[in-house]
Structure 1
Amino acid sequence: MKIDKKPDFTLSLLHPKHWGVWFGFGLLALIVNVLPYSLLFRLGRGIGKFGMRFGGKRADIARRNLELAFPDKTQQEMDEFIEENFKNSGMALIETGITWFWPTWRFQRLLVVKDITALKQHEANNKGVLLCCVHALNLEITARAFAVLGLPGYGAYRPHSNPAYEFIQYRGRTRNGNQLIYRTDLKKMIKVMRQGHRLFYLPDQDYGHNKSVFVPFFAVQETCTTTGTSILAHTSRCAIVPGSGFRNSDGKYEIIAGQSIEDQYPRKDDVAAAAYMNHYVEEIILRAPEQWLWMHKRFKSLPDHSLTNSRYL
């Protein structure tokens, strides 16, 4: 289903089969709007820690990722890291509620603007930007944060199959001027950047062999990495800016997008471009590594399409 426009409300959304969705999001909206952030923080991390009891498979994936990416970590360091990662995963639920349901005046209080000079400069010059972020567990917060700061963008998007969920999700993700583009609509992505807009892009996961190359990522020398960054950058002639919005020790979200990296970006060499981008992806993740999505099989694809030699067996 290819949809990238705001879904309309219809009476069919009130059918009893959707009541669970309405109740769940209604409860989340109530909780995040009634409780102070300090309690929401404790609640979210508590949910994550409780989830560890049932997340053995995800914990195994995170551990294997850490073994591959940081082979020098001790067992104790990995245990502590994984627990922190689970706690942040629970907090991600609360952060989604905050992003979708908090009023702007309250949301602004969570933000600390560290450096957004590159985005401001490109905005003044009407230059399109490929804003490269990562799958941080607080990604919803980050996307809205840029919009609240007057720098909204377009996000690649896959509609949810449940229409009630989709109705709520779409509105939550388009707060303060953000817009959505269907995830495979490359023509529209290129068009909006040529028109001087920003496109949120996440080049940090394993999307399979199609339009990918194998380059270093942390300690893994052959990591499946998308060439989508170079395709979009070359065809749109946009600027490229790494961005992030990780939570600091004070519970504030530090917004960073101050470095423009397109001048040395090897647009016509897919392998060199992917390796170049991975360097900056690593730099972003290392700002707060425990807040990244380590439970995803980042290193699952192998150069020879092998399954018997999977890194996760």
Structure 2
Amino acid sequence: MSPSRPASRKSFLGWLASPVYLLYRLWCRSLRYTEINRAAIETTTDHGRPVVLCLWHDELFPLIYLKRRLNIIALVSQSDDGDLLAGVLERMGLETARGSSSRGGVKALLAAAKRMREAGLCGCVTVDGPRGPRHQVKEGAVFLASRADAPIVPIRLFMERRKVFKSWDRFQLPLPFSRVTMVCADAYRVDCDPRDAEAVAQECRRLEEKLEALRPPKLPPQLSLFGRMTAALSDMAAHLAYAFAALLGKMGYPGIRSLGRGLGAAFWACLRGRRRLAVRNIATHLDLPWATAESLARASFTHNARSFLESVLAPDFGLDHPLLDVERPDLLERLKNEDRPAVITTAHFGGWELLASLLGDISTRPRLTVVRTYKNKVLHYVTTRLRSSRGAEVIGHREAAFRVLRTLRKNGYAAFLADHNTGRSEAFFLPFLGEEAAVNKGPAVLAVRGKALVWPVFLMRDGDRYRLIMEEPLDAALLQGDAESRSRAVAVFYTGAIERMVRRAPEQWFWMHNRWKTKRIEAED
């Protein structure tokens, strides 16, 4: 039996863990992270099942800081270094199981496997630690995965600029302000009896091959000093712009209405091309005389300007707001209480900027608002922060599919603006206001895959008040046919609801948008 360490040394290491933890946090916060295929972890953990995260010992440093949304139990050796590492990890919210291949390893693995099964924790193993040989997988990860009935996710961490130490593992320390890329392989299950030494060795070789096969992606070059200064100024401008938006919100609803009329008149005077497009769209698709179409187009410019400005009022606008009327309270209660996933479709109509805040009030279940991101980073930051001010998370449409499906699996809500023009590859071509339009198929496909209720919801202005208008939902789970035909049926449903709202109050729709720009090619059906 090895002699125990003096209590004074343990006490010193425990005291040292706190300052080391603070230094570690500061160091990691300076790094810039990129994550590749993190879904390999989250698709498993979202169902409450644990995984075993496996990595090389020399790439350990930045991993713990990337633990967000994961509950991890880490295997740590019983050495002096392990005491210090365990203290740091525990301050970061991780659990630890103490042991290694040379001392207490089996006991630690059994304890970790038990905690993983009971609490759904993810195990984390440096597969060639604590003493090597370097980049040779030992049996611990395979044993843990088998005992915990958990899949393995191999992980590599690639550091753009780093210090490599002359230790057995050639430990890598990322330099401050450098970039770290985490690459995950797909999860897989071990298929062996942990008592069969030959089968375990074969699984170790399999894991080793998967780790060695991971490669860093090609990333754009790191910003120069001037680029970093420009980015810092952009961040400062974004925060100042948000402070101005908050100040603008102090004007209240009467002030925003007045400012909207002035801004709409300015748009009408300056945006001549958009003005002609709006008048032509109204005259063509509502079959109205030019003079009438021009009057409606001018009113729509005022409504659109007001919609843009109303975003500053979103933090104050909830379901209990005194200016809000609900046309069908029974449908609202059903949306709030139905224990089903919901895809909410709306349009650039009425007070559409305020709908995200209403979505935040519907429930405490996961809530997503899917939008097209602005190219201007300052405008994107301000609008995203305003739209998410009451609890609904705002995400860009390019990153939506996985996030929406995960939300729907939790019986959450996902809201889409479904009336904008889109490319052929993303569209169903459907009639809209008398002419075929490219209708975004994304909400429909996700609703079918998520077996969701599809709810058309709109916020129409009624004088100085707002009217929440809802239609009876379509249950995507009850549709018949193949996936394509069911998705098309959903898209027809929400496109029809949008058309009815536009015809009900045409001056409140976004007519200056070239809605019918994308045309079907002859080969398409």
In structure 1, what is the equivalent of residue 430 of structure 2? 215
Of 262, 283, 288 in structure 1, the residue corresponding to residue 500 of structure 2 is 283
Amino acid in the other structure paired with 2:473? S
Matched, 1:56 2:272: yes
Matched, 1:134 2:361: no
Instruction: Give the greater-gyration-radius structure (CA).
Output: 2
Matched, 1:74 2:74: no
1-side partners of 2:275 and 2:390: how far apart? 35
Of 123, 130, 155 in structure 1, the residue corresponding to residue 369 of structure 2 is 155
Contact 1:190 1:236 in 2 (8 A): yes
2-side partners of 1:239 and 1:193: how far apart? 10
The 1:133/1:247 distance shift into structure 2, 3 A limit, reads same
Of 291, 295, 307 in structure 1, the residue corresponding to residue 512 of structure 2 is 295
1-side partners of 2:407 and 2:229: how far apart? 33
In structure 2, what is the equivalent of residue 188 of structure 1? 403
The 1:18/1:107 distance shift into structure 2, 3 A limit, reads farther
Matched, 1:240 2:454: yes
In structure 2, what is the equivalent of residue 110 of structure 1? 323
2-side partners of 1:13 and 1:115: how far apart? 50
CA positional deviation for 1:215: 1.9
Matched, 1:200 2:415: yes
Contact 1:242 1:284 in 2 (8 A): no
* Deviation sequence 1:118-153 (CA, Å, 0-9, x none): 353254342001111112252211221232354773
Amino acid in the other structure paired with 2:272? G
Structure 2 unaligned segments of length 5 or more: list them.
1-33, 36-67, 69-227
* Deviation sequence 1:176-196 (CA, Å, 0-9, x none): 211123413312212211211
Contact 1:104 1:148 in 2 (8 A): no
For the residue of structure 1 that corresponds to 2:369, the secondary structure is strand
Contact 1:111 1:145 in 2 (8 A): no
**Larger deviation, residues 279-288 vs 13-22:** 13-22
**Larger deviation, residues 228-237 vs 155-164:** 155-164
Higher relative contact order (CA 8 A, sep 6+): 1
Could you tell me the TM-score, scaled by structure 1's length? 0.81
* Deviation sequence 1:10-33 (CA, Å, 0-9, x none): x97995555655554433322330
2-side partners of 1:105 and 1:142: how far apart? 9
CA positional deviation for 1:164: 4.9
In structure 1, what is the equivalent of residue 442 of structure 2? 228
1-side partners of 2:338 and 2:235: how far apart? 46
Contact 2:347 2:498 in 1 (8 A): yes
2-side partners of 1:303 and 1:16: how far apart? 44
Of 292, 298, 303 in structure 2, the residue corresponding to residue 88 of structure 1 is 303
The 1:52/1:191 distance shift into structure 2, 3 A limit, reads same
RMSD of the TM alignment (CA)? 3.2
The 1:56/1:160 distance shift into structure 2, 3 A limit, reads closer
CA positional deviation for 1:285: 2.5
Amino acid in the other structure paired with 2:457? G
The 1:280/1:265 distance shift into structure 2, 3 A limit, reads farther
Contact 2:444 2:488 in 1 (8 A): no
Amino acid in the other structure paired with 1:155? T
Contact 1:214 1:271 in 2 (8 A): no
For the residue of structure 2 that corresponds to 1:90, the secondary structure is helix
CA positional deviation for 1:104: 5.5
Contact 2:456 2:494 in 1 (8 A): no
CA positional deviation for 1:211: 2.9
* Deviation sequence 1:174-222 (CA, Å, 0-9, x none): 12211123413312212211211111022222202013222211111x2
The 1:36/1:224 distance shift into structure 2, 3 A limit, reads closer
Contact 1:117 1:258 in 2 (8 A): no
Aligned residues: 293
CA positional deviation for 1:229: 3.4
Structure 1 unaligned segments of length 5 or more: list them.
6-10, 307-313
Matched, 1:28 2:245: yes
In structure 1, what is the equivalent of residue 261 of structure 2? 45
2-side partners of 1:64 and 1:178: how far apart? 36
For the residue of structure 2 that corresponds to 1:196, the secondary structure is coil
Matched, 1:144 2:357: yes
Contact 1:247 1:253 in 2 (8 A): yes
For the residue of structure 2 that corresponds to 1:136, the secondary structure is coil
2-side partners of 1:258 and 1:42: how far apart? 31
